[in-house]
């Protein structure tokens, strides 16, 4: 699927058009099994999260191993902030456990939809923390970069995962 390729190959491009790409996928007609929209939605959000993870790796390598440049790491943080703005869209289709099992390795918990506002608030935190991280990465202040990188992982990612993401699934 085109979107999948774009997300994988160049997170930045997909994100620039993220809102549109995301919503057109969600309204695709259900497939023969009747769960097409849910299965597509689960794949969509996993792709979005993978793009977040890929950008996080660029930042972590810069902060921990001085790989790449500050500008590249800062741009990766900006991309995560952009993906964060698509979180309401990519998660809006609720999928039952049975439906999500068809996709495999699903880790979204049901409380995402029973506590939708709380979930969206975590997306907002990610957006704000990403903006702060992007700015500080360009500051050249190593101490401030380390501190915000730690905060970003804890609040930006962990703050959502610990409540709304289930345990790792084998297979
Ligand atoms: C608003 C909530 C939220 C935030 C913020 C968030 N995540 Fe996630 N993330 C999830 C959920 C829910 C899943 C499980 C998705 C699924 O399997 O349906 C997930 C899954 C993932 C995955 C696995 C994707 C896959 O299927 O292979 C990675 C990697 C990931 N997140 C990285 C990150 C990183 C890095 C950050 C911070 C920069 C972050 N996430 C921030 C909710 C969030």
Share of the chain above pLDDT 70, in %: 73
For ligand 1, atom 26, which residue shows the shortest CA distance? Answer: 46
Q: Evaluate whether 42 touches 99 at the Cβ level (below 8 Å).
A: yes
Rounded CA gap, 19 and 17, in Å? 6
As a whole number, mean pLDDT of residues 32-44 equals: 75
Phi, psi of 154 (to 5 degrees): -70, -55
149 lines ligand 1 (CB under 6 A): no
Q: Evaluate whether 160 touches 123 at the Cβ level (below 8 Å).
A: yes
Answer whether residue 34 is part of any domain: yes
Answer whether residue 171 is part of any domain: no
Q: Evaluate whether 96 touches 50 at the Cβ level (below 8 Å).
A: no
As a whole number, mean pLDDT of residues 61-77 equals: 98
Answer whether residue 135 is part of any domain: yes
Question: Given the CA of residue 80, which atom of ligand 1 is nearest to it?
Answer: 38
Answer whether residue 169 is part of any domain: no
SS3 165: strand
pLDDT of amino acid 25: 44
Answer whether residue 43 is part of any domain: yes
Residues 6+ apart with CB under 8 A from 99: 35, 38, 39, 42
For ligand 1, atom 6, which residue shows the shortest CA distance? Answer: 157
79 lines ligand 1 (CB under 6 A): no
Q: For the chain, first and last CA: distance in Å?
A: 22
pLDDT of amino acid 98: 64
What's the domain count of the chain? 1
Answer whether residue 170 is part of any domain: no
Q: Evaluate whether 91 touches 119 at the Cβ level (below 8 Å).
A: yes
Q: How far, in Å, from the CA of 77 to the mean position of ligand 1?
A: 15
136 lines ligand 1 (CB under 6 A): no
pLDDT of amino acid 107: 84
Of 30 and 142, the structure prediction assigns the larger pLDDT to 142
Answer whether residue 74 is part of any domain: yes
- Look up the domain containing 154 and give its range: 2-164
Residue 40: pLDDT band (50, 70, 90) is: confident
pLDDT reading at 1 higher than 70 = no
Answer whether residue 80 is part of any domain: yes
Q: How far, in Å, from the CA of 52 to the mean position of ligand 1?
A: 7
Q: Evaluate whether 107 touches 166 at the Cβ level (below 8 Å).
A: yes
15 lines ligand 1 (CB under 6 A): no
Q: Which residue has the tokens 């790792």?
A: 168
CA distances for 124 relative to 4, 19, 81, angstroms: 24, 16, 9
What is the CATH number for 113? 1.20.120.10
pLDDT of amino acid 41: 85
pLDDT tens column, 88-118? 999 998 876 666 666 667 788 889 999 999 9
């Amino acid at each position: 699927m085109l979107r999948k390729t774009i997300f994988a190959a160049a997170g930045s491009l997909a994100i620039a058009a993220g809102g549109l790409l995301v919503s057109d996928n969600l309204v695709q007609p259900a497939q023969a099994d009747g769960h097409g929209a849910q299965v597509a939605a689960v794949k969509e959000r996993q792709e979005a999260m993978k793009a977040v993870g890929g950008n996080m790796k660029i930042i972590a390598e810069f902060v921990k191993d001085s790989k790449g440049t500050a500008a590249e790491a800062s741009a990766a943080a900006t991309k995560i902030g952009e993906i964060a703005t698509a979180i309401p869209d990519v998660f809006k289709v609720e999928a039952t456990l049975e439906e999500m099992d068809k996709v495999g390795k699903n880790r979204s918990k049901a409380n995402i939809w029973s506590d939708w506002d709380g979930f969206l608030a975590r997306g907002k935190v990610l957006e704000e923390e990403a903006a702060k991280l992007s700015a500080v990465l360009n500051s050249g202040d190593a101490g401030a970069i380390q501190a915000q990188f730690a905060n970003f992982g804890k609040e930006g990612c962990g703050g959502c995962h610990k409540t709304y993401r289930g345990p790792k699934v084998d297979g």
